[in-house]
C-alpha cells in the first residue's frame, strides 16, 4: 500500500494516527455481525451499479460495545478490505477547553482529510466524548457543546468518504448524532464459539484438543477478546521463557502466575477462571505441557 502523500500526513499528524492495510488483522466476530459487515462491504464495492439508480452506498457506521471487543481492530480490517488507510482520530483529543475550539478542531480534522485528496477511511475513536448528549444552553459550556455537536452533524453529512465512529458508552450518544449513522453495529462480548476460536488463534502454535478449548472457553465466560488474548500470550511467554529462566513450569504454577498478572477491569464481569484458578475443571483437564504444532501452525 502506498503511503499517504507527505502533505496529507503532515496535515493530519497532530490530530490522528494512520494505520495501513498491511498491518490489519481480522477480528473474530459473531455470525450476525460478520453478515452485516459483509453486506456493507458488498454495497461499497457495488458503488458504480448503485449510482446508475441514483443510490450511494452507506458511508457512516457506528460501532458500540464493551472495551476490548475489537472495534478498532474491525475498523482497521474494513479499511484494509477497501484497500484504504485508516485515519484514527481520538475524539477526546479534539475536545478543548476554549469556547469554540472543539468545533474548530472537528472542522480542521475533516478539512485535512478532504484536502489530502486521497481516499481514506476516517475513524473517530472514543466518540462519546464528542457526540454525547447536549447540555442546557443556559451555560456557556452547554452552548459550546451544542455548537460542537452541530459541527459534527454538518461535517458527517457533508463528508464524502467512509466514516466509522466507535464508543463504549452508547447510552451517552446524542440521538440526532446516532441517527446520522446509517449503520449501528453492536460489538458485544464474544459467545462460547467465538471464545473458542479466539483461544485457538492466540494460543497457536501450541495446539489443544477441541474439548480442552471448549472447556477453557466456558471458564472464560464474560471475558473480552482483549483479555483472552492477553492471558493466552502470557501463557505462551511462560512456555518459551520459563524453562530458560528456571521458573516453576508445572501446570498449576504457570496458570496461577498468569491469573495473578492479568485481570479483567473491576467494573467488568470476572470470568470463572479467575475465581477458581488452577482448581477450575478446565485447568484440571488441561494436558501439560502443551504440544507445539508445525511452524505456521
Ligand atoms: N473480536 C476479536 N477477535 C480477535 N482479537 C480481538 C478481538 N477483539 C479484540 N481483539 C484483540 O484485543 C486487542 C484490543 O482490541 P481493540 O483495540 O480492537 O478493541 P476495542 O473494542 O477497540 O477496545 P476499546 O473499546 O478499548 O477501544 C487487540 O490486540 C485485538 O487483537
Ligand atoms: Mg478501540
Parts of the chain with a pLDDT under 50? 297
Q: Ligand 1 pocket test: which of 37, 164, 229 has the largest number of ligand atoms within 8 Å of its C-beta?
A: 229
- Whether 143 lines ligand 1, by a CB cut-off of 6 Å, is no
- Whether 72 lines ligand 1, by a CB cut-off of 6 Å, is yes
Kindly list the distances between the CA atom of residue 154 and the CA atoms of 60, 114, 148, 159, in Å, as whole numbers in the listed order: 13, 14, 10, 8
20 — alpha (psi -120 to 50), left (phi > 0) or beta? beta
Kindly report each contact of residues 266-269 with a partner whose C-beta sits within 8 Å and lies 24 or more positions away, as own/partner: 268/66, 268/67, 268/222, 268/224, 269/221, 269/222
Q: Which CATH number fits domain 6-186: 3.40.50.300, 1.10.8.60, 3.20.20.70, 3.40.630.190?
A: 3.40.50.300
3-state DSSP call for residue 207?
strand
Give the pLDDT confidence score for residue 142 in this predicted structure. 79
pLDDT tens digits for range 224-258? 999 999 999 999 999 999 999 999 999 999 999 99
CB of 107 closer than 8 Å to CB of 151: yes
Give the pLDDT confidence score for residue 293 in this predicted structure. 86
CA dist., res. 58 & res. 163, Å (int): 10
Give the pLDDT confidence score for residue 297 in this predicted structure. 45
Q: Enumerate residues 6+ apart whose C-beta is below 8 A from 210.
A: 196
- Nearest listed ligand to the Cα of residue 66: 1
- Whether 202 lines ligand 1, by a CB cut-off of 6 Å, is no
* Closest residue to atom 25 of ligand 1, CA basis: 67
CA dist., res. 73 & res. 65, Å (int): 13
- Whether 225 lines ligand 1, by a CB cut-off of 6 Å, is yes
- Whether 129 lines ligand 1, by a CB cut-off of 6 Å, is no
* Closest residue to atom 7 of ligand 1, CA basis: 70
Closest CA to 74 of 46, 47, 40, 42: 40
Looking from the CA of residue 27, the nearest atom of ligand 1 is 3
CA dist., res. 218 & res. 271, Å (int): 9
Pinpoint the alpha helices (H) of the chain. 6-12, 31-45, 47-52, 71-81, 91-94, 101-115, 128-131, 140-158, 175-180, 192-203, 210-219, 225-245, 251-261, 272-276, 281-284
Looking from the CA of residue 187, the nearest atom of ligand 1 is 21
CA dist., res. 262 & res. 65, Å (int): 21
- Nearest listed ligand to the Cα of residue 224: 1
From-to residues of CATH 3.40.50.300 in the chain: 6-186
CA dist., res. 254 & res. 122, Å (int): 42
What is the widest separation between alpha-carbon atoms in the chain?
Answer: 69
- Nearest listed ligand to the Cα of residue 229: 1
- Whether 88 lines ligand 1, by a CB cut-off of 6 Å, is no
Residue entry with cell 441514483: 54
Q: Report how far ligand 2's centroid is from the alpha carbon of 8 (Å).
A: 24
Amino acid at each position: 500500500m502506498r503511503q499517504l502523500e507527505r502533505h496529507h500526513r503532515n496535515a493530519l499528524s497532530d490530530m490522528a494516527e494512520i494505520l495501513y492495510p498491511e498491518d490489519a488483522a481480522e477480528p473474530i466476530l459473531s455470525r450476525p455481525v460478520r453478515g452485516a459487515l459483509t453486506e456493507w462491504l458488498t454495497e461499497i464495492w457495488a458503488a458504480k451499479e448503485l449510482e446508475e439508480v441514483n443510490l450511494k452506498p452507506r458511508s457512516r457506521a457506528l460501532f458500540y460495545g464493551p472495551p476490548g471487543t475489537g472495534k478498532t481492530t474491525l475498523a482497521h480490517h474494513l479499511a484494509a478490505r477497501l484497500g484504504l488507510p485508516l485515519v484514527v482520530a481520538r475524539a477526546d483529543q479534539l475536545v478543548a477547553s476554549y469556547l469554540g475550539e472543539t468545533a474548530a478542531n472537528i472542522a480542521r480534522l475533516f478539512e485535512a482529510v478532504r484536502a489530502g485528496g486521497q481516499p481514506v477511511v476516517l475513524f473517530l475513536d472514543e466518540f462519546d466524548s464528542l457526540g454525547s448528549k447536549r447540555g442546557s444552553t443556559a451555560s456557556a459550556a452547554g452552548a459550546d457543546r451544542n455548537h460542537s455537536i452541530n459541527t459534527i452533524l454538518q461535517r458527517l453529512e457533508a463528508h464524502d468518504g467512509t466514516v466509522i465512529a466507535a464508543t463504549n458508552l452508547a447510552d451517552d450518544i446524542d440521538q440526532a448524532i446516532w441517527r446520522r449513522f446509517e449503520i449501528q453495529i453492536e460489538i458485544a462480548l464474544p459467545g462460547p464459539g467465538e471464545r473458542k476460536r479466539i483461544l485457538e488463534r492466540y494460543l497457536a502454535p501450541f495446539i489443544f484438543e477441541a474439548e480442552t478449548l471448549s472447556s477453557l472457553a466456558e471458564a472464560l465466560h464474560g471475558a473480552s477478546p482483549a483479555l483472552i488474548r492477553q492471558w493466552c500470550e502470557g501463557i505462551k511467554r511462560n512456555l518459551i521463557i520459563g524453562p530458560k529462566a528456571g521458573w516453576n513450569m508445572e501446570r498449576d504454577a504457570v496458570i496461577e502466575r498468569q491469573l495473578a498478572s492479568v485481570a479483567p477491569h473491576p467494573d467488568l464481569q470476572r470470568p470463572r477462571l479467575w475465581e477458581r484458578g488452577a482448581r477450575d475443571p478446565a485447568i484440571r483437564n488441561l494436558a501439560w505441557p502443551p504440544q507445539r504444532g508445525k511452524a505456521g501452525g
